[in-house]
A = this chain, B = another copy of it.
Amino acid sequence: MEAAISLLKTRADASLAELIEFAGIPSISAQSAHAPDMARAADWLRARLERAGLQNVSLWPTAGHPAVYGEWLGAPGAPTALVYGHYDVQPPEPLERWSTPPFTPTLVGERLYGRGVSDDKGPLLLTVQAVDALLSATGTLPLNLKFLFEGEEEVGSAHLPGLVAARAGELRADFVISADGGMWSADFPSLTVSGRGLVALEFSVHGPARDLHSGRHGGALHNPLHAAAALVASLHDGRGRVAIPGFYDGVQELSPDERAGLAGLPFSDAAYLEQTGAPGVYGEAGYSTLERQWHRPTVEVNGLWGGYSGEGSKTVLPAEAHVKLTCRLVPGQHPDTIAARLAEHLQNQTPPGVRLELRPGDHAAGPYSLPAGHPLRRAAGQVLRELYGTPPVEVGMGGSIPILETFGGVLGLDTVLFSFAVGDENIHAPDEFFRIGRLYEGQEAWTRLWWALGNGQTDG
């Protein structure tokens, strides 16, 4: 193992160059114009897995973008880990707010800027570089590995559950280690032990059959933008609490111990506002910022548009308005139930003079948690403590990784999130970046984690 870690150090420049090449491919799964780039990224990754010395490397087709698979099964009797990551990235828009071109990864000091470098190409690639080094340096691995990298995480992993079910035999394993996830802070190690679920919904409000002159018709017909705004406003009460009937049914309140634990974490609203640039914190009354981020459900509007947004004025009463929204879910909430309650609420709140059109979104995932005392949680914690010299803080995650539910529900496997991205790296936003030091730390950590899991060293 130490020979592999030494080899990784000699390969540091090559590792970075590889990430720059990989992140230069605009593999945007949401935009059909980028389908050729998706294919190119999948093929790049397939070739890289082969070069690492993995076997049965192949593209696994789906009705959408393919997954990339590779394995090494030369450790009979040792456990088998399924490694997960995704090679697709978020759309880069708004382009004008990037300081460097999103698909020309650019190193500025210790940070590599580019779309997808943090979510998830850097954290994914370092696992391949780690297995390559282990096989090059030692000719063997301490455990069996199966790599599954999907191309639809950023559009909700719609085809992954079906793929995993169809390939359940080939994917048989003892547990899952995910390269997707992310640490909470750049200042100390953390381990994510819970994540919120997700359900998405879109709606449109239709008024007149075409855009009308707002002078001639204003006041006589309902303006779809007014109706859409009223619908969005109806989702929350004046104290930041979701106002959809039944939304909080089944949600557990945090215990006094849990609240005290969260209050003791190194977090301050002032530092958070400094980091995000927001004028103030805001949310459900009666909860702290971390409680709201990790353990309270939300409804968020991700997009709202209608009418004229160009230069100058256009006195138009628009024919329609559009809204995209997502709910974050916590234990006790099911995506289907919440989607149904949200839809019913919107229907009940739609005013006269307009027509509501609801469309299911393309995202859904249940909430997740890795129980205290779980062997994966202990092993990962031990590796991080040795690497950073301090035990990791155990944190929740506001975001959702739908695969946690897939691997749990379809394969019956627990997943540990072992990503070396950090939560401040502007993922899903302009100027996404990845700390290059984390590329090397991640390579070493994954090598040590495999070693620990392969040798049964899972006591913390």
Contacts and interface: CB of A to CB of B under 8 A. Distances in A.
A230 interface: yes
Interface in A310-365: 310-318, 321-322, 324, 326, 328, 351-355, 361-363
B30 A282 contact: no
A229 B313 contact: no
A276 B209 contact: yes
Contacts of A212: 276, 428-429
Interface string A274-291: 001111111110000110
Contact of A211 (B290, B312, B428): B428
B207 A279 contact: yes
A264 to B, nearest CB: 18
Contact of A207 (B218, B222, B278): B278
A328 B91 contact: no
A151 to B, nearest CB: 13
A217 B276 contact: yes
A373 interface: no
Interface string A224-243: 01101111111110000000
A298 interface: yes
A251 to B, nearest CB: 13
A283 B313 contact: no
Interface string A74-100: 000000000000000011011001000
A427 interface: yes
Interface stretch (A172-180, A254-262, A393-401, A449-457): A393-401
B219 A284 contact: yes
Interface stretch (A301-309, A378-386, A408-416): A301-309
B313 A326 contact: yes
B326 A210 contact: no
A322 B293 contact: no
Interface residues of A, number: 103
A371 to B, nearest CB: 22
A156 interface: yes
B293 A219 contact: yes
A279 to B, nearest CB: 5
A162 interface: no
A183 to B, nearest CB: 12
Contact of A209 (B31, B198, B277, B300): B277
A213 interface: yes
A304 B304 contact: yes
Contacts of A284: 219
Top 7 A-B residue pairs of the complex, sorted by shortest distance between their CB atoms: A209-B277, A215-B399, A282-B353, A30-B312, A229-B232, A222-B282, A303-B307
